[in-house]
Amino acid sequence: MTKITFIGAGSTVFAKNLLGDILSFPEIADSTISLHDIDPRRLETTEQVARRVADLLGVKAQVETSLDRRAALEGSDYVVNMIQVGGYEPATVVDFEVPKRYGLRQTIGDTLGIGGIMRGLRTVPVLLEMCHDMEELCPDALHLNYVNPMAINCWALNRATRIRTIGLCHSVQGTAADIARDISVPLEEINYICAGINHLAFYLQFRRNGEDLYPLIRRVALEGRVPAHNRVRYDLLERTGYFVTESSEHLSEYVPWYIKRDRPDLVQRYGIPLDEYLHRCQAQVAAWDLAKTVLENPDAPVMGALNAALEPIPATPLFKLGVLYVFATINQITLSGEYAALIIHSMATGTPRVVNCNVPNLGLIDNLPRGCTVEVPCLVDRNGVQPTRIGALPPHLAALIQTNVNVQALTVEAALTGKREHIYHAAMLDPHTAAELDLEQIWSLVDDLIEAHGPWLPQYH
């Protein structure tokens, strides 16, 4: 029987979505689902969700839980990882509030920028411990990592452990669906080739029956139909000729051009939601509280709980809508579009699929560094995850991506060697940080962040 272990299972809503995907496949619906989290309350809630999902689907999955990570990992065939080291408070708040004192603003701060650097530094040590446990307890398991900063985490693990780590994200398939809506072409009729790095990959081809669809994409901008939340990506399309995978709010903090403390007009023109991730985290906490209430009181009126969950969230209608979605779908199963279940099913049954994964660059993209984490199409079947060789990216795309890879490389170096100097170097080379702060400010900011994070970071020398 297949054993699928969820690490960080207290991410209840995300775990529920992945469980719905996995257990919807009859061939793997009898798997053992092992749930682990360090928070017993969240773990209990996710256990209830998992059993509810199995009941709704009418399957006989065996659900087990453990607060002991080693016990959960033992004998696993697949390990799905969704932890957030330090959580919303204190770690994420520190990542935003300390840089803000220097005039350095972020939108999400989980992948690159000073926030991504610090998140990587506190996350990599925990993932290394987990993978070393896996080397002992389930050495042949496939590690499916959803944890950001994706490229930094996967690069460090593939360099320092023997565990097969594959990074998964929904940005490629999600953005393809966004483009399909913008150009009014059914997604199922579209074929694309997308490659680069996580959150900064580009659609090298976007076609329908051999027809190049890029003219339709450019027409969206020419006709003034660019969605208000997507102005940054369409601007970069105009200037590079290619559409990028990650959202405009993410992209704006990976490059030096869109967020300027002395140019608030830029933020307004491009509709950049500064501090958005803090509001999203608040909404996620509210959604978890609501899910717990609904699960524990299935027959009781929950409108009071719904109003209480919505009340503390700032005026961000999109994420209030997200809480409402949790309320409406807690007893429903809908496929999420995430890749984890597809990979597990293909490896279990031999059903061939192509998905985009984050893997080591071992001869895949010629003009990016060997060993860095790249996001490329991969064939999945009984032989596992088999990456596709892309060759050389257009030179200007490779050059843009390299600015992000530089930061990732130095953050990985700091995490694996414990040398404090590389944290300064990573921040110095970060495109957004370097565009806003001078060197004295950058070094002082790094010192302040290390001090503020305290025990969440290892000791550096």
β-strand pairing of 3-7 with 78-81: parallel
Residue 353 class from Cβ within 10 Å (0-12 exposed, 13-18 middle, 19+ buried)? Answer: middle
β-strand pairing of 191-197 with 200-208: antiparallel
CA pair distance 2, 29, nearest whole angstrom:
9
Give the catalytic positions in this structure. Answer: 170
Write out the H or E segment, with its range, that includes residue 354.
strand 353-360
Given the structure tokens 């979505």, which residue do they identify?
Answer: 17
What are the structure tokens assigned to 352, written together?
Answer: 């061939």
- Cβ contacts of 23 within 8 Å, gap of 6 or more: 29, 31, 53, 54, 57, 59, 61
Angle at 326 between CA 322 and CA 328, to 5 degrees: 110
Best CA proximity match to 367, nearest among 389, 394, 407: 394
CB atoms under 10 Å from CB of 167, counted, come to 27
What are the structure tokens assigned to 181, written together?
Answer: 């809506």
Which residues on neighbouring strands pair with residue 117, listed in sequence order? none
CA pair distance 141, 121, nearest whole angstrom:
25
DSSP result, 148-215: SSHHHHHHHHHHH-SSEEEE--SHHHHHHHHHHHHHT--GGG-EEEEEEETTEEEEEEEEETTEE-HH
